[in-house]
Amino acid sequence: MKRLLVVLFVFALVVCSFSACKAQTKTEKNPQEDSVPKCDFEKHVIQNDACTLCGVKASTGLKFKLNKDGQSYTVTGMGSCKDTELIIPSVNAGKPVTEIGKKAFYEKAELTAVYVPENVTAIADNAFYMCRALSTVMLSETVETLGKDVFMHSININAVTVSPDNPAFSSDENGALYNKDKTKLILVPGTKAEFEIPASVTTLGNSCFGRSRVLTSIVIPETVTAMEDGVFNDCRVLQSMRIEAQLTEIPYMTFSLCEQLREIVLPETLTKIDKHAFDWCLQLQEIHLPESVVSIGYCAFRNCTSLWSVDLPKGLTELGESAFTSCEKLGKIEIPEAITDIPAGAFSDCNNLVKVVFPTKLTSIGDHAFFQCPRLENVVFPDTLTSIGRYAFYGSDCLGSLVFPASLKSIGANAFDSCHKLDSVVIPSNVESIGNRAFCDPMFNMNIFVEAESKPEGWETKWHYGQRVYWAGQWRYVNGVPKPKS
């Protein structure tokens, strides 16, 4: 394929050197045009907006906008053009076409092929976004800038072919797109079930495998030193993954929506797992986090509904909000000592979470931190805890009795709402604020023993809902158990 293209380009240059040929292709109808069969799209040799082999002409009817310089055009859309194999003209109304505009061919479901001609230097953001039938892309030697997510959701691209004379980009026999020296992989055709990352590649570009519906396995070789965001995002059938690279970071959305990913071994050099890195990895059952990891981001493991075992590294200092939300199989979690605040939603909707071990210097438990964890038992709060957030333990059906530490100052609204088995609570005298319905049990099983003599000002008037409350003087400890005075 590569050799053939080189030959074709040499042929094109030869043809181009005859000026008479130029005049012919531009002004006269090729008499053989009707009899010469049209070449396969990727075989076209386009010169002056026509194929020198089969005579096919550049597409007509496209929409253009005159650029600010008044000397060139940007193609902005299909206009009246009905071509499914698009050959963008290099010249419009006598002026060069230098750019493909933002979203110019956004969601053009009929497009199967596109040729980006000489003169075009830039392709703007989302230019070919969600062109689901787009299979063949050819870039001329002049294209130097690709915007953001140019081919995002165009998951059936089979090959990108770049002119060997292009100074900024290159392609290979697999139809993958790279920067010129092939140190950065930009796009892997969405039709490849397997792909070997070449040894020249050090950076995996933004979403370069993104949204593949066929990629089943991949090895990240040791030559790779960095990944940009979302490299394997939404690779729905990716099952097997091997990382040989000494990566330090799993960036934003790297494996999110990899619904079939079962196993992954992370490198021992890893320090950071960024936001949404494993969000919606529905089949991921177990993950070993290397001891080098210090940061786990927002929603990093959210919706890992099969994840039953995870050991948080001892050096972990940062745990993001909703990091383990909806990990429905997770049975036990031990929060490392360096964590002093459990962020909002960190373990909400963990239906099978039975045991949580808090670090000894914990000061706060965030809003919704253990929201709807119905099996949570035997929670022991450390004696450094000062605040429990809103809905923090809402719906923890298995909590029986609770002992709050003397350090506790605030309990958020609905913090222990709908904890049906909670039968006994002692509220220490330092608690300054309690939100509405912090204690609320429709079964009215709960006795609340308060160390204060009357309701402090900072407690909401509806801080509990229909519970029996015993103020100081109305209860005492009998063998360490709070009992109402009779």
Binders in 329-358 for Zn ion, by CB under 5 A: none
* Between 39 and 133, CB nearer to Zn ion: 39
* Between 12 and 419, CB nearer to Zn ion: 12
- The tokens 């980006």 sit on which residue? 116
* Between 8 and 54, CB nearer to Zn ion: 54
* Between 53 and 160, CB nearer to Zn ion: 53
State the nearest-atom distance from the C-beta of 89 to Zn ion, in Å: 15
| Residue among 398, 425, 412 at smallest CA distance from 365 | 412
State the nearest-atom distance from the C-beta of 27 to Zn ion, in Å: 19
State the nearest-atom distance from the C-beta of 36 to Zn ion, in Å: 8
State the nearest-atom distance from the C-beta of 38 to Zn ion, in Å: 6
- The tokens 């292009």 sit on which residue? 166
Token pair for residue 95?
């002026």
Binders in 44-73 for Zn ion, by CB under 5 A: 44, 51, 53-54
State the nearest-atom distance from the C-beta of 271 to Zn ion, in Å: 52
* Between 39 and 354, CB nearer to Zn ion: 39
State the nearest-atom distance from the C-beta of 45 to Zn ion, in Å: 7
* Between 53 and 450, CB nearer to Zn ion: 53
* Between 42 and 172, CB nearer to Zn ion: 42
Q: Output the residue with the shortest Cβ distance to Zn ion.
A: 51
State the nearest-atom distance from the C-beta of 37 to Zn ion, in Å: 9
Count of residues engaged in binding Zn ion, rule: CB under 5 A: 5
* Between 138 and 346, CB nearer to Zn ion: 138
State the nearest-atom distance from the C-beta of 12 to Zn ion, in Å: 11
CA-to-CA distance for 150 and 164, rounded, in angstroms? 21
Binders in 6-45 for Zn ion, by CB under 5 A: 39, 44
* Between 87 and 185, CB nearer to Zn ion: 87
The amino acid at residue 416 is: F
State the nearest-atom distance from the C-beta of 132 to Zn ion, in Å: 25
Token pair for residue 134?
């787009």
State the nearest-atom distance from the C-beta of 169 to Zn ion, in Å: 23
Over the chain, what HEC string results?
CHHHHHHHHHHHHHHHHCHHHHHHHHHCCCCCCCCCCCCCHHHCCEECCEECCCCCECCCCCEEEECCCCCCEEEEECCCCCCCEEECCCEECCEEEEEECCCCCCCCCCCCEEEECCCCCEECCCCCCCCCCCCEEEECCCCCEECCCCCCCCCCCCEEEECCCCCCEEECCCCCEEECCCCEEEECCCCCCECCCCCCCCEECCCCCCCCCCCCEEEECCCCCEECCCCCCCCCCCCEEEECCCCCEECCCCCCCCCCCCCCCCCCCCCEECCCCCCCCCCCCEEECCCCCCEECCCCCCCCCCCCEEECCCCCCEECCCCCCCCCCCCEEECCCCCCEECCCCCCCCCCCCEEECCCCCCEECCCCCCCCCCCCCCCCCCCCCEECCCCCCCCCCCCEEECCCCCCEECCCCEECCCCCCEEEECCCCCEECCCCEECCCCCCEEEECCCCCCCCECCCCEECCEEECCCCEEEECCEEEECC
* Between 44 and 275, CB nearer to Zn ion: 44
Site residues for Zn ion per CB under 5 A: 39, 44, 51, 53-54
